[in-house]
């Protein structure tokens, strides 16, 4: 059992938890993930590690309550325990050698973008961060992000906070303004990562995206997390979760992540937080809402 030592609501749907997991805390690096199982009937759900505290032996996860397991997890409180919690899985984000980086987060994807920005910032890179949200009410981690980058640009779709517009527009304007990035990291809803990769493609800027496909074991056994990258089958759990955004077949990933949506006993957590995350993917979010609503009806 893994004890929840801190719980904080970041916005209505997004929760931060610090969980006691000393072995994982000792090892975790930016970009890696854990798999949790809420109880003996639960699914195994991957979540990216948002932070860790070696001394306290805790791992921070930030998640949006979108499916059966994440909703149940959000109901737990400080002092409660999670049945299973395993990691750190996947490869750490490659941060060596980059000098001028733009880290882009969409919605709850900012929780995953944050540790990468922090790692790069601490390694001495110049880090710009763009954090996009649907509106002011769902802005999360603003102070935390500001502390690990040189410039933080917050955008909202409706202009209720920060700059009005999408993260893609902001990145384009930063590039237009003469910023010479040698790496862009994009983490958020699949459409956001797809379109952001299109922004950087003409400039040949290396673009890493963090993928979170459907997964069971997280150690390379099930093959459920396979994604097509550069025309080849890759397993996100052992080959990723970071991949070259210019090579990823995002449309296929989006289809595969909607695998169980139509099912009555669908576990919406499979959609992963990215699908339901920021509003750069307004359509995707709308579609999710519809499927959730349908599920409730049933």
Partner 1 sequence: MANLSLTKVPMPEQDPNVRNRNFDEVALGYTEEMAKEEATRCLNCKNRPCVSGCPVNVRIPDFIAQVAAGNFEEAYKIITATNCLPAVCGRVCTQETQCESKCVRGMKGESVGIGRLERFVADYHMAHVNEKLEKVETNGHRVAVIGSGPSGLTCAGDLARLGYQVTIFEAFHKAGGVLVYGIPEFRLPKAIVQKEVDNLEALGVEVRTNFVIGKTLTVDELFAEGYEAIFIGSGAGLPSFMGIEGESLIGVYSANEYLTRVNLMKAYSDKYDTPIRKSHAVAVVGGGNVAMDAARTAKRLGAEKVYIVYRRSEEEMPARAEEVHHAKEEGIEFMCLNNPTRILGSENGEVRAIEVLSMELGEPDASGRRKPVAIPGSEHEIEVDTVVMSIGTSPNPLIRSTTDGLDATSRGCLVTDESMATSRPGVYAGGDAVTGAATVILAMGAGKTAAASIDKYIREKG
Q: Which residues bind partner 1 (CB under 8 A)?
A: 23-24, 27, 37, 41-44, 68-69, 83-89, 216-224, 226-228, 233, 235, 238, 249, 252, 255-256, 258-260, 263, 265-267, 270
Tell me whether residue 146 or residue 256 sits nearer to partner 1 (CB atom): 256
Tell me whether residue 44 or residue 136 sits nearer to partner 1 (CB atom): 44
Tell me whether residue 85 or residue 166 sits nearer to partner 1 (CB atom): 85
Q: How many CB atoms lie within 10 A of CB 69?
A: 24
Tell me whether residue 142 or residue 249 sits nearer to partner 1 (CB atom): 249
Q: Which residue's structure tokens are 């150690």?
A: 219
Tell me whether residue 21 or residue 112 sits nearer to partner 1 (CB atom): 21
Contacts of 165 (CB under 8 A, 6+ apart): 155, 157, 159
Minimum CB separation from partner 1 for residue 43, in Å?
A: 5
Minimum CB separation from partner 1 for residue 21, in Å?
A: 9
Tell me whether residue 29 or residue 126 sits nearer to partner 1 (CB atom): 29
Minimum CB separation from partner 1 for residue 16, in Å?
A: 22
Tell me whether residue 144 or residue 266 sits nearer to partner 1 (CB atom): 266
Minimum CB separation from partner 1 for residue 11, in Å?
A: 25
**Cα(214)–Cα(236) distance, integer angstroms:** 9
Minimum CB separation from partner 1 for residue 235, in Å?
A: 7
Minimum CB separation from partner 1 for residue 226, in Å?
A: 7
**Cα(102)–Cα(99) distance, integer angstroms:** 10
**Cα(280)–Cα(91) distance, integer angstroms:** 26
Tokens for 293, please give them: 């609503």
Instruction: Specify whether the CB–CB gap between 227 and 252 falls below 8 A.
Output: yes
* Cis status, amide bond into 153, omega within 30 of 0: no
Minimum CB separation from partner 1 for residue 130, in Å?
A: 30
Among candidate residues 99, 147, 107, the one with its CA nearest the CA of residue 124: 99
């Amino acid at each position: 059992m893994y004890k929840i030592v801190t719980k904080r609501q970041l916005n209505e749907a997004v929760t931060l938890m610090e969980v006691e997991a000393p072995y994982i805390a000792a090892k975790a690096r930016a970009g890696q993930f854990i798999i949790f199982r809420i109880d003996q009937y639960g699914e195994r759900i991957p979540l990216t590690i948002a932070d860790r505290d070696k001394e306290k032996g805790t791992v921070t996860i930030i998640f949006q309550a979108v499916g059966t397991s994440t909703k149940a997890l959000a109901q737990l409180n400080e002092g409660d325990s999670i049945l299973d919690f395993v990691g750190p899985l996947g490869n750490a984000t490659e941060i060596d050698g980059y000098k001028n980086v733009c880290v882009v987060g969409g919605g709850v994807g900012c929780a995953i973008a944050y540790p990468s920005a922090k790692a790069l910032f601490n390694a001495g890179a110049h880090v710009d961060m763009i954090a996009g949200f649907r509106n002011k009410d769902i802005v999360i981690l603003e102070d935390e992000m500001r502390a690990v980058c040189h410039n933080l640009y917050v955008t909202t779709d409706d202009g209720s906070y920060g700059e009005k517009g999408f993260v893609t527009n902001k990145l384009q304007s930063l590039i237009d303004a003469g910023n010479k990035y040698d790496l862009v990291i994009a983490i958020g809803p699949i459409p956001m990562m797809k379109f952001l990769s299109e922004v950087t493609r003409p400039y040949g800027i290396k673009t890493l995206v963090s993928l979170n496909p459907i997964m069971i074991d997280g150690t390379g056994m099930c093959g459920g997390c396979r994604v097509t990258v550069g025309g080849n089958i890759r397993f996100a759990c052992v080959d990723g979760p970071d991949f070259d955004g210019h090579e990823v077949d995002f449309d296929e990933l989006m289809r595969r992540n909607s695998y169980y949506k139509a099912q009555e006993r669908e576990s919406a957590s499979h959609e992963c937080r990215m699908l339901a995350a920021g509003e750069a993917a307004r359509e995707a979010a709308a579609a999710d809402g519809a499927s959730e609503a349908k599920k409730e009806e049933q």
